[in-house]
């Protein structure tokens, strides 16, 4: 809506995600901002203020709006259908807005989730250290959602998790493909091998995203991309925004290799916990269970490939990369802990984990 950009009122930080969604869809945005340069300044100023409230003050409402804005600008842009309205993705003011938010998000991650120590130089020691960081080390206090799934989760709670995770799993592993061109040699071959498995080696029925869609249908959930965006709590968006950010910045993309390793290493255990929850709920439908079952075996192999055929070849050819790869693991753990804290707080209070459920 050009009108919202022409009015002299200040840009509202509290509804900045809607302002940016409108701006992305405004046909003549660049010309409008050229005619009203104070509006461009106000947009960037509002982004800076939102970034401060969200990523410096860590105000919950601001984090919600900041991550929704980043999702519109980066995560959704890369993977949404081509008919989505985003004429102004590369407008310079929009780019400045995105950088204001991303820089503050990156600083927050570096501040809250730094490396606990420098990575070991010996390859065997590095491998063991990364595995410890991903699976064993008590880095960020969060209640165990694994135990909750095994012992308490209801089918309604599982449906909420499936709905919110659909923002990733209906497009698994699209964010990861964005870093293929950043790799060379053995590491590139390793990542492609892993990713081909996620895409079912080109068989539509075997793509993990297809298996996830079947799971959603069986749970009476909508399988359209981003259908649950408005109801998805911001910690889920933070993980997607992290991936979009590190994938797009060449300076940060080594964090994605570590993040992929973390996700794959963590997956078999998580999938077993979900299966235990479905078993307790009396669900035996193979169309519900197969997404989880297939990941128990597949991701054990994927974790091995991610560590030994992607991460280690990268570090061998560029020893200085180890710290950045490890940041991908540690910052991924931080972001996953945010999700666990959110889900556990909602569920253990008998509340919905969906955004807006309490409004």
Question: Which residues of the shown chain bind Fe ion in the complex (CB under 5 A)?
Answer: 198, 208, 264, 299, 302
Tally of CA atoms within 13 A in the half-sphere of 254 that contains its CB = 18
Q: What are the residue ranges of helices labelled H in 113-169?
A: 123-131, 145-151, 155-169
Asked whether 74 and 98 are in contact (CB, 8 A), the reply is: yes
DSSP at 15: G
Output the CA angle 129-131-133, nearest 5 degrees: 70
**Inter-residue contact 219 to 274 (CB < 8 Å):** no
Structure tokens, 31? 């010309």
Helix, strand, coil percentages for the chain (3-state, nearest 5): 75, 0, 25
Minimum CB distance to Fe ion, residue 229 (Å): 21
- Of 119 and 239, nearer to Fe ion (C-beta) is 239
When the beta carbons of 11 and 256 are compared against Fe ion, the nearer one is 256
Q: How many CA atoms lie within 13 A of 277 on its CB side?
A: 24
Query: Rounded to the nearest whole angstrom, what is the least distance from the CB of residue 178 to Fe ion in the complex?
Result: 16
Residue 225, CA distances (Å) to 57, 211, 221 in order:
32, 15, 12
CB nearer to Fe ion: pick between 168 and 347: 168
- Which residue's C-beta sits nearest to Fe ion? 208
Nearer CB in complex with Fe ion: 129/199: 199
**Shortest distance in whole angstroms from residue 299 CB to Fe ion:** 4
When the beta carbons of 165 and 302 are compared against Fe ion, the nearer one is: 302
Interhelix angle for 37-51 vs 92-112, to 10°? Answer: 10
Q: For residues 212 and 334, which CB has a smaller minimum distance to Fe ion in the complex?
A: 212
Query: In this structure, how many other beta carbons lie within 10 angstroms of the beta carbon of residue 170?
Result: 21
* Shortest reach from residue 195's CB to Fe ion, in Å: 9
- Nearest approach, Cβ of residue 240 and Fe ion (Å): 15
Distance CA 224, CA 81 (A): 11
Compute the least distance from the CB of residue 306 to Fe ion, in Å. 8
Nearest distance in Å: CB 325, Fe ion = 18
- Nearest CB to Fe ion, comparing residues 165 and 255: 165
Report the C-alpha gap between 147 and 164 in whole angstroms.
Answer: 20
């Amino acid at each position: 809506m050009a009108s919202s950009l022409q009015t002299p009122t200040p840009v509202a930080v509290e509804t900045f995600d809607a302002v940016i969604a409108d701006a992305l869809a405004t046909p003549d945005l660049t010309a409008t901002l050229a005619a009203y340069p104070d509006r461009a300044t106000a947009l960037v100023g509002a982004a800076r203020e939102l970034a401060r409230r969200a990523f410096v003050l860590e105000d919950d409402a601001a984090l919600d709006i900041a991550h929704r804005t980043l999702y519109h600008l980066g995560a959704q842009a890369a993977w949404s259908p081509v008919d989505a309205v985003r004429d102004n993705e590369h407008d310079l003011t929009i780019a400045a807005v995105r950088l204001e938010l991303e820089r503050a998000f990156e600083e927050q991650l570096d501040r809250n989730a730094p490396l606990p120590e420098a990575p070991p130089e010996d390859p065997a020691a590095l491998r063991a250290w990364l595995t410890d960081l991903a699976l064993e080390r008590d880095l960020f206090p969060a209640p165990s959602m694994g135990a909750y799934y095994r012992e308490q989760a209801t089918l309604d709670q599982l449906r909420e998790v499936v709905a919110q995770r659909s923002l990733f799993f209906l497009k698994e592993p699209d964010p990861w493909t964005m870093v293929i061109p950043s790799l060379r040699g053995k590491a590139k071959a390793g990542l492609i091998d892993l990713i081909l498995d996620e895409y079912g080696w080109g068989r539509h029925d075997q793509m993990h995203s297809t298996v996830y869609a079947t799971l959603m249908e069986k749970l009476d959930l909508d399988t359209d991309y981003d259908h649950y965006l408005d109801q998805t709590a911001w910690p889920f968006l933070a993980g997607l925004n992290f991936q979009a950010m590190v994938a797009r910045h060449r300076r940060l993309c080594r964090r994605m290799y570590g993040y992929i390793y973390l996700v794959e290493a963590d997956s078999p255990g998580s999938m077993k916990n979900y299966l235990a929850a479905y078993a307790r709920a009396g669900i035996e439908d193979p169309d519900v269970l197969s997404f989880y079952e297939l990941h128990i075996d597949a991701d054990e192999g994927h974790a091995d490939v991610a560590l030994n055929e992607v991460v280690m070849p990268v570090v061998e050819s560029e020893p200085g990369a180890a710290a950045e790869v490890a940041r991908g693991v540690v910052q991924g753990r931080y972001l996953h802990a945010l999700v666990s804290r959110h889900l556990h707080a909602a569920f253990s209070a008998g509340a919905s984990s969906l955004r807006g459920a309490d409004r």
